[in-house]
Structure 1
Amino acid sequence: MLLALFAVTLLSFVLFGVFEGDRVRQIQVLWAVQVPMDLALAYGAWRLRLLAPQYRRFWSAIAFAGCSFSVGDSFQTLNVLFDPGGASTDGGTVQSAFFIVGMFSNVLACLLFPQGLKTGREKLVFWLDATTVLVAGGVTAWCFAVNGAVEQQDRVTATITAALVVVGAFSATKVALVPRPPMARFAAWPMVAAPVVQGIAAFLPGPFQLQNHYYVFMVLLLPSLLIAVGPRIQETLARTEGPAGTARRRPYSLLPYGMIGLTFVVFLLVLPEHTSARLWGATLGAVVITGLVCGRQLIAFQDNVMLVRRLDVAVDRLTDQETMLREQASTDGLTGLANRSRFTEELGFALIGSPAVLLIDLDDFKSVNDTMGHAAGDALLVEVSERLRAAVRDHDLVARLGGDEFTVLLPNGGAAGAERIAADILRRLGEPMTLEGRIIATRASVGVACARPGDESSTLISHADIAMYEAKRRGKNTCVHYSDEMGARIADEAELVRELGTAVDADEFMLLYQPIVRLDDLRMTGVEALIRWNHPTRGLVSPDDFIPLAERSGHIVSIGAWALREATRQAACWRAEYPAADHLTVNVNVAGRQLRTSGFVDEVAAALSDAGLPASNLSIEVTETAVLDDEESAEAMLRLRGLGIRLALDDFGTAASSLGLLLTVPVTTLKLDRSFVESITTAGRPRAVATAVSQMATALEFSSVAEGIETDEQREMIHSLGYQYGQGYLFGRPLPAGEVGDRLAAMSHTPVA
C-alpha cells in the first residue's frame, strides 16, 4: 500500500513537470490524485479500527473523514475534467462542504480518544499546555482570516487555512503531551505535518500565490500523501510491535514556548507601519525579555533533565535488579512455575474472596527416578507443569511446592469449578507421554480444599494436603474434597503417630501368640507373634489401627525391631523351660520397610544370638506386596535364608504376582489367606484356589498353612486338600506368653503320637 501511494505520488510529480505551463492539466492531475490518497486514509483507518479496539471511536472518526474527503474530491475531479474552464485548486461548494465535514470529524476524534490522564495535576498541566497552543493558533487565525492581514487571499479560503493550522497545532499537542496516544509518534507526525504544510503553503509568496509552477502542485499534493501514509505506518507498527504503550511524560514541553514565539511573530507582522518608535521599542523589549526568560528557563530545565535522566538510569538499574531478584525468589528454577513462597503470598491475597486450593502429588514418581534416572524425572516434572498450565484458567496460579508436589490456586469458581479443573488435570496427566524413548502414563492424587470464612493460608493448604493423602489412601489417581470428618480422623491419626514415637521407650507394646497346629494330630508346632498396643488412655489398640500409621511414618522399623527381640527372647525362654518347645517355631511379621532397611539381616542375627535361639526356630513372615518387584527385599530374604531362618509368604493369593514371586523369593512356607478359608465349605471358587495353593506348595516342597480356621468343617476340608498346618480361633485365640507356656507344659507330659 505504501509503495503504491509513493508510486502514484511520483507519477503525479512527473505529470506536473510534463504539463508545465498547462495549468488546467496540472489542476486536473492534482484533483485526480487526491482520490486514491483519500481512499487509502479511509481504508487504513478502518483496518486500525478493527486492529486496535481500544481506540475504536478515534479510528472510526478518521475513517469517516477519509470517506468524506473521497466523496468531495471525487466530485471535484469530475468537475474539473468535464468543465476545464472552471479548473481551480480551490474546491467548489460541494467539495468544500465535504471537506469541512471531514475536518470536523478529525477534530472530534482528537477530542474523544482516551487521553490516559489520571490525576488532577496531569489533567491541569495538559490543558494549560493545550490552551497555550490553541490560543496561539487562534491568534494566527484571527490575524490572517478575520483581520485580513493577507489581503490577496479570499476571506473564506483564509479562514479555512487558518483553521487547518489550528487543527494541526492541536494534533501536535495531543501527540506531544498525552501519555496514551492512539498512534505511535512516528506514525502520527506525518498526519500532524499535513495541515501545517497546507497552511504554510497558502501564505508563501510568488509562484504559490499565482500557482504557475510545477513544484507548487508538488507541495499542494504533499498534505494528502502525509495523511494517507500515517495509518499505514501505524498498522505496520501495531502488527510488528503490538499496540502503542504509555508514553513517558517529558519533564517539560517545548510546545508552549514555540507558541509564545509564534504569537510574537504574528504580533510583529500585523503591527501597522506607522506605529511610533516608542511602541516598537517597548514591544521589542518585551520580546527580548521574554526570550531571555525562556532561554534561562530552558537552560535550567536542561540541567534538571540531565539530573533526572541520571536518576532514572540509576532507578531503572535498581528496579531491573529488584525485578530479577524478585522473580528468582518467587519462581521454581526447574519448571518456571511459582514456588512455595509466591504461592503462599498469592493465597493470602486471594483469601479476601472464596478461593480453592488443589494439591497434586504424582503417584509412584519415585519409580521413574529409580528406573530411568533423575534427568528423566526432571523432564517428567517439566511436562507435568506444562499440562497443569494448560488445564487451568488465565487468572489461576500453578505452583510447584517441591519434589513431585504441585498446587493450583483458584481465586474463584467454588467447589464445582475446582472439581471440573481437577478432573481435567487427571485427564491430561493420564495421557501417555514419551520420555527418553519410552511411553509412560502419569497418575496423580488430588486434594481439594475450598476456603471458608476465617480460614488462613496454612489452614487451607493443610486441608488440601489431608484431602490429597485421603485420595492416595483410596487407591490413588483420584480427586478428594476435604471434609471436617476427614480432618478429625487425620488429626486423630496424627496424634497416634506422635504417640507411636514414644510407645516403645514407654514399654506400651505387648506380644500375643496364636498357636499354629499340625492338622494330622492337632499338636501345636508353632506360634505367630501378634503385637498389641496397650495405650495409657485409649486402652488396647488394634494392629489394624496403628500398623498402617507406623508403616507410613517409619515408626514400624523401631516397633518391628522390638517385636523381633521380644519374640526371640520369649521363644528361647520356652525352649529352656519346656521340652515340647525344642522344635517350636515362632513366626514374626516383618514389614517391607524393615526388609529394605540397611542392617536388618544383621539385626536379626544379633537378636537370635542375644536370645540364644537357633535360627531354625524363627520364621519371618512377609506379605506379597512387601517384596513385589523389590530387589533390596529379595536380597535381604536370601541372606536370611542363608542364616537358616524360615521364610513364610503371608496372605498368599491376594496379590497380583503370586506365581512369579515363587520363582524369585526363597520362601519355605505358604500361608493361605483367611479370605479363602471363610467360604471354603460353601463356595467353589475359594475351594479351587485353596486346592491350587496346596498343590503348588507340595510340588515346590513348601510347608502349607491355612489361616482363619474357625470350624471343624473348615478344618476337615482344609486337611483333605493337603494342608499340613492350620491356624485360627478353632485352635486358639492369640494368647499371652504364660498361657502358651501352660500348653507347652501339657504337651511335655503328653507323648507324641
Structure 2
Amino acid sequence: MTTFGRLRRDPVLLALVGLTLLGCVLFFALDGRTLDQVRVYWVAQVPLDAALAYGGWRLRQLAHIRFRRFWSMISFAGACFAAGDSVQALQTLIAPGSPSLDGGAVQTIFFAIGMSSNVIACLIFPQGLTTLRERFVFWLDATTVLVGGGVVAWCFAFNPVAGGDVNRVNDSVTAALVLVATFSATKVALVQSPPMRRIAAWPMVCAAMVQGVATFLPGDFQTLEHPYVFVIRLAPSLLIALGPWIQQVIVRSGEAHQPVKRRPYSLLPYGMIGITFVVFFMMLPETTSSQMYGATVGVVVITCLVAGRQLVAFHDNSLLLGRLDTAMQELRDRASYDGLTRLANRTHFGELMRDSLMRDCDGNGAVLLIDLDDFKTINDTMGHASGDTLLVEVAVRLRAAVRADDVVSRLGGDEFAVLLPGASPDVAGRVCAEILRRLAEPVEIQHHTIVTRASVGVTQARPGDDPQTLLSNADIAMYEAKRRGKGMWVAYTEEMGSRISAEAVLIREMNTAIDENEFSLVYQPIVRLSDERMTGVEALIRWNHPTRGTVSPAEFIPIAERTGQIVAIGRWALREACRQAAEWRSELPGPFTVGVNVAGRQLRDPELVADVAAALSVNKLPPEALSIEVTETAVLDDEESNAALVALRGLGVKLALDDFGTAASSLGLLLTCPVTTLKLDRSFVESINTVGRQSAVATAVSQMASALELGSVAEGIETAEQRDLLRSLGYQYGQGYYWSRPVPPGRIVQLRAAERSPAAV
C-alpha cells in the first residue's frame, strides 16, 4: 500500500479531520449565537492540542535517537497548548463573560511557552551544516528573519494608531512568534536529514502561516459576526496536530527518510525584508514630508534592486552548482560502477561489503565469487565485442538470479561477485544453483548459440571477517570448483584455507629458492634399445628445501606453473642442463643428448627462444645436443606455443612430445607441431605384457613414429619383459628404472663409462 493509502485509512487522522469538520459545521449552524460558537471553538481546541502532545511523545519513542529531543519539545509544546486551552474552555463554559477568541492571561502564558518550545526545537535541531561558512550563512538568514519579526512586533505593539491596547500587544507578540515559528519550521522541513518527511512537515509550516495571516487580517475578518472567522482560527490547530500523526504512519510503515537536496540560497530573508518595508510604510505618519517620503522610497528601491541583483547572481551560481553536481555525480558513478555492465565495481563492492558487515554484528551473510569458464576462447574466436555482449547478458542473468537486496558486482574481466546479506548456507546454495541454471541457458550472439558455464566459490561471513578475507576465501572456493571440473559451485572450508596457506608459504619460499641454490638437477638415462647404450638423459629438477628436505616436483611444479614462477625456474634448469651437457661432451665420447622439460607457461614466454639460444651459445653446445620436451596439453590449440616450437626447431634443437597418448588431440598435433621425437607415456607401459589395449596403443604409437620418421622413446620400463616387447614393437629408445633411477651428474659419467650389460648396470 502506498503512503497516501495508509494516510487515508489511519483512524487517528480521520478522527482529527472529522472533529474539525464537526466544529466547522457547528460554527455555521450556530450562526448568530456567538457565545456558543466561542465555546465550540475552545472545546475543539483541546483534543487537537492533546493529539499534538501525544503524537510528539509517540514519535519520541519510535523515531531515531537523534530526533528524540526534537519530538520531546514538540510534545511539550502540545501539552502547553492543551493546558492553556483547557483552562480557557472551562472558563468559557462556566463563566463566559464577553465572547472572545483571545485567550485570557493563563492561556496566553501557556501559548507563549508552547510556541517558544516549538521555535527552540526547530532552531536547535541539527541542520546538517558541516563547514563554518554554511553555519554562518544559516545563522545570518535566521537573524534576518528574527530581527524582521521583531520589527513587525514592535511596530504593531507601539503604533500610536493602534492605541497600544492589550489586544494589539497580544496580537503583535503572537505575530512575531508565528513568523519566527514559520521560519524555523520551514528550515527543519528543508534540511538534508529532516526529523519528518515533507508530507508531514508542511502541514505544521502551513499552521504557522495561517496563524500569522489570521493575526494580520483586516478588522472585518477579526469580528465574530462571521462563522468563517472561527474556521480560520481553528484550522492551525488541526494542521499542527496532523504533522506528528502523519509522520507516525510513515515510520510505522518502515519508510526511510529521503534526504532533501539543500538549496544553495534561501528566499526567506528577502521575504522578511519585504514584509519589514511594508510594515514600515504602514507605520509612517500621515504628515511625513515629501522629501522624507522620497528618500525612504529611494532607500527601499535601492535595497530591492541590490537584493534582486543578488538573487540573480544566486540563481546563476545555482545553475553552475547544478552542472557541477551533475558532473560530480557522473564521476562518482564512474568510480563506483562498471561502465559495461552497470554493476558495482570492485571498489564500491568492497564498501558495500564493509557497510553490510558493520550493520550485521552477528556476521551473517555470504559472498559468491563467479568466474566464467573458458571465456578467453570466446574472446579469441569471436572477438572482444562478442565477449562484451556476453558479459552484459551475464550481468542481466545474475541480477535476475539473486534476491532483491543482494548486490551484484563485476570485479573485472569475466569475474563477478555477489553479496548476500543475511543469507544462511542453505539460501546461499539455492542462489548458486539458480545462478548456474540461468547462466546455462543458451544465448544467441552473432548468429552463434553459446552456452555459458561458470565456477562459483561461496564463503559464509563470520564475526570479525573483513571484505578482503571474504573475497579471498570465496576465491579459494572458486578455484577449487575449477579444479573439480568447472561448471559447479563449492563452499569454502577451513581445509581449503589450510591448503592454500601452505601453498602460499611454498610460493614465498620458491621466490628465493633459486638465489639460495636450493634447486638441483638429476638425470635419468635414455638408452638405445638395439644395443642398450646410453645416448642421452632427461634432466629432472629437485628442490632441496633447507627445513622440509626434498620437495617432490609433483608438489611444487603445478603451483609454479599457476603462479608463473615456472618461467624463472625453467630458465635456471635450462642453463644448468646445457652447462652440464657441455661438460659431459668434453669428458664422454660420442653423441649425447640432454632433454629439458618446458612447461606450457614457458612456451608463452616471449623470451624463451632467446634464452635457449643464449644457453647454447654461452656453453658452446651444439643445438642437436639439446632436446626440448613438452606435453601435449601445453601446446593443444595454442598458436602462441606452436609458434615458439617452430622458432626453437629453427635453432636446430630437437623437440620431444612427452607423455604422448594421454591427451585428446594427439593425432592432430602431429600435423602442426614440428616435433622430432614421440615419448610413449608410462601408463601404456606398466601393464603392456598383460593388457591387450595397452599393447595396441603402444604398437600404434610406434608405427606412427616410424611412418612420420620420428624418433620413439618408451618411458617407465622396469622389467626385461617390457624391454623386449617394446623393442619388438619397433621402439628405438627406452627410459626407466630397469636401467637407472634419476641420479646425480657424477653417476651418469660412471654409467657411461661402464657401458656393460643392463644386469651389471
TM-score higher than 0.5: yes
Q: Which residue matches 2:186? A: none
Q: Does 1:349 align with 2:359?
A: no
- Choose which of 547, 550, 554 in structure 1 pairs with 2:564: 554
CA distance in structure 1 between the aligned counterparts of 2:690 and 2:756, rounded to whole angstroms: 38
Q: Does 1:705 align with 2:713?
A: yes
CA distance in structure 2 between the aligned counterparts of 1:397 and 1:293, rounded to whole angstroms: 51
Q: Which residue matches 1:208? A: none
- Choose which of 345, 348, 355 in structure 2 pairs with 1:339: 345
CA distance in structure 2 between the aligned counterparts of 1:256 and 1:297, rounded to whole angstroms: 21
CA distance in structure 2 between the aligned counterparts of 1:519 and 1:645, rounded to whole angstroms: 23
Partner AA of 1:57 in structure 2: R
Residue by residue over 1:52-108, the C-alpha shift from the partner in whole angstroms, topping out at 9 and shown as x without a partner, is 65346259999xx99xxxxxxxxxxxxxxxxxxxxxxxxxxxxxxxxxxxxxxxx99
- Choose which of 335, 357, 365 in structure 2 pairs with 1:329: 335
- Choose which of 557, 581, 589 in structure 1 pairs with 2:597: 589
Q: Which residue matches 1:425? A: 435
CA distance in structure 2 between the aligned counterparts of 1:376 and 1:691, rounded to whole angstroms: 45
Seen in structure 2, the aligned counterparts of structure 1 residues 255 and 713 have a Cα distance that, compared at 3 Å, is same
Displacement of 1:490 in angstroms is 0.8
Q: Which residue matches 1:611? A: 619
Seen in structure 2, the aligned counterparts of structure 1 residues 663 and 320 have a Cα distance that, compared at 3 Å, is closer
Seen in structure 2, the aligned counterparts of structure 1 residues 129 and 403 have a Cα distance that, compared at 3 Å, is farther
Q: Which residue matches 1:474? A: 484
CA distance in structure 1 between the aligned counterparts of 2:80 and 2:700, rounded to whole angstroms: 99
Is 2:655–2:677's contact at 8 Å kept on the other side of the alignment? Answer: yes
The aligned runs of 1:620-639 (5 Å cut-off) are: 620-639=628-647
The aligned runs of 1:528-539 (5 Å cut-off) are: 528-539=538-549
Seen in structure 2, the aligned counterparts of structure 1 residues 626 and 55 have a Cα distance that, compared at 3 Å, is same
Is 1:50–1:56's contact at 8 Å kept on the other side of the alignment? Answer: no
Seen in structure 2, the aligned counterparts of structure 1 residues 59 and 684 have a Cα distance that, compared at 3 Å, is farther
Seen in structure 2, the aligned counterparts of structure 1 residues 246 and 61 have a Cα distance that, compared at 3 Å, is closer
Q: Which residue matches 1:200? A: none
Partner AA of 1:410 in structure 2: L
Q: Which residue matches 1:254? A: 209
Structure 1 runs not aligned, ≥5 long: 1-48, 67-106, 150-243, 272-291
Seen in structure 2, the aligned counterparts of structure 1 residues 655 and 52 have a Cα distance that, compared at 3 Å, is farther
SS at structure 1 position matched to 2:531: coil
Partner AA of 1:418 in structure 2: A
The aligned runs of 1:154-233 (5 Å cut-off) are: none
Q: Which residue matches 2:735? A: 727
Is 2:522–2:540's contact at 8 Å kept on the other side of the alignment? Answer: yes
CA distance in structure 1 between the aligned counterparts of 2:757 and 2:621, rounded to whole angstroms: 23
Seen in structure 2, the aligned counterparts of structure 1 residues 54 and 540 have a Cα distance that, compared at 3 Å, is same
Partner AA of 1:692 in structure 2: A
**What CA RMSD, in Å, does the superposition of the two structures yield over aligned residues?**
4.6
Q: Which residue matches 1:522? A: 532
Report the structure number with the largest CA radius of gyration. Answer: 1
Partner AA of 2:403 in structure 1: R
CA distance in structure 1 between the aligned counterparts of 2:526 and 2:512, rounded to whole angstroms: 32
SS at structure 1 position matched to 2:520: strand
SS at structure 1 position matched to 2:455: strand
Is 2:523–2:743's contact at 8 Å kept on the other side of the alignment? Answer: yes
The farther-off stretch of 726-735 and 595-604 is 595-604
Q: Does 1:391 align with 2:343?
A: no
Partner AA of 1:408 in structure 2: V
SS at structure 2 position matched to 1:268: coil
Partner AA of 2:338 in structure 1: D
- Choose which of 698, 704, 714 in structure 2 pairs with 1:690: 698
CA distance in structure 2 between the aligned counterparts of 1:268 and 1:420, rounded to whole angstroms: 74
The aligned runs of 1:352-371 (5 Å cut-off) are: 352=361, 353-371=363-381
Is 1:513–1:528's contact at 8 Å kept on the other side of the alignment? Answer: yes
CA distance in structure 2 between the aligned counterparts of 1:634 and 1:617, rounded to whole angstroms: 21
Seen in structure 2, the aligned counterparts of structure 1 residues 263 and 502 have a Cα distance that, compared at 3 Å, is same
CA distance in structure 2 between the aligned counterparts of 1:478 and 1:389, rounded to whole angstroms: 19
TM-score by length of 2: 0.62
TM-score by length of 1: 0.63
Is 1:129–1:256's contact at 8 Å kept on the other side of the alignment? Answer: no
Displacement of 1:471 in angstroms is 2.1
Seen in structure 2, the aligned counterparts of structure 1 residues 245 and 425 have a Cα distance that, compared at 3 Å, is farther
Displacement of 1:297 in angstroms is 11
Q: Which residue matches 1:288? A: none
CA distance in structure 1 between the aligned counterparts of 2:488 and 2:376, rounded to whole angstroms: 19
SS at structure 2 position matched to 1:398: strand
Is 2:578–2:619's contact at 8 Å kept on the other side of the alignment? Answer: yes
Is 1:365–1:404's contact at 8 Å kept on the other side of the alignment? Answer: yes
Structure 2 runs not aligned, ≥5 long: 19-46, 100-196, 227-271, 281-303
- Choose which of 257, 264, 268 in structure 1 pairs with 2:223: 268
Residue by residue over 1:384-431, the C-alpha shift from the partner in whole angstroms, topping out at 9 and shown as x without a partner, is 221211111111111122222221111112222112212222222222
Partner AA of 1:590 in structure 2: V
SS at structure 2 position matched to 1:499: helix
Seen in structure 2, the aligned counterparts of structure 1 residues 662 and 339 have a Cα distance that, compared at 3 Å, is same
Is 1:578–1:748's contact at 8 Å kept on the other side of the alignment? Answer: no
Q: Which residue matches 1:513? A: 523
CA distance in structure 2 between the aligned counterparts of 1:654 and 1:645, rounded to whole angstroms: 24
Partner AA of 1:348 in structure 2: R
The aligned runs of 1:478-497 (5 Å cut-off) are: 478-497=488-507
CA distance in structure 2 between the aligned counterparts of 1:733 and 1:475, rounded to whole angstroms: 34
SS at structure 2 position matched to 1:726: strand
CA distance in structure 2 between the aligned counterparts of 1:296 and 1:560, rounded to whole angstroms: 89
Displacement of 1:325 in angstroms is 4.5
CA distance in structure 2 between the aligned counterparts of 1:325 and 1:122, rounded to whole angstroms: 39
Partner AA of 1:257 in structure 2: G
Displacement of 1:658 in angstroms is 0.8
Partner AA of 1:401 in structure 2: L
CA distance in structure 1 between the aligned counterparts of 2:657 and 2:400, rounded to whole angstroms: 46
CA distance in structure 2 between the aligned counterparts of 1:663 and 1:60, rounded to whole angstroms: 88
CA distance in structure 2 between the aligned counterparts of 1:299 and 1:322, rounded to whole angstroms: 45
Seen in structure 2, the aligned counterparts of structure 1 residues 56 and 258 have a Cα distance that, compared at 3 Å, is closer
Residue by residue over 1:210-256, the C-alpha shift from the partner in whole angstroms, topping out at 9 and shown as x without a partner, is xxxxxxxxxxxxxxxxxxxxxxxxxxxxxxxxxx9847648664322
Seen in structure 2, the aligned counterparts of structure 1 residues 294 and 595 have a Cα distance that, compared at 3 Å, is closer
CA distance in structure 2 between the aligned counterparts of 1:749 and 1:589, rounded to whole angstroms: 29
Q: Which residue matches 1:408? A: 418
Q: Which residue matches 1:57? A: 9
Seen in structure 2, the aligned counterparts of structure 1 residues 545 and 52 have a Cα distance that, compared at 3 Å, is same
Is 1:129–1:255's contact at 8 Å kept on the other side of the alignment? Answer: no
Is 2:7–2:13's contact at 8 Å kept on the other side of the alignment? Answer: no
Is 1:591–1:622's contact at 8 Å kept on the other side of the alignment? Answer: yes
Seen in structure 2, the aligned counterparts of structure 1 residues 746 and 412 have a Cα distance that, compared at 3 Å, is same
SS at structure 1 position matched to 2:755: helix
Partner AA of 1:738 in structure 2: G
What is the aligned residue count?
540
Seen in structure 2, the aligned counterparts of structure 1 residues 298 and 549 have a Cα distance that, compared at 3 Å, is farther
Partner AA of 2:348 in structure 1: R
CA distance in structure 2 between the aligned counterparts of 1:693 and 1:298, rounded to whole angstroms: 109
Partner AA of 2:616 in structure 1: L
Is 1:257–1:294's contact at 8 Å kept on the other side of the alignment? Answer: no
CA distance in structure 2 between the aligned counterparts of 1:748 and 1:586, rounded to whole angstroms: 21
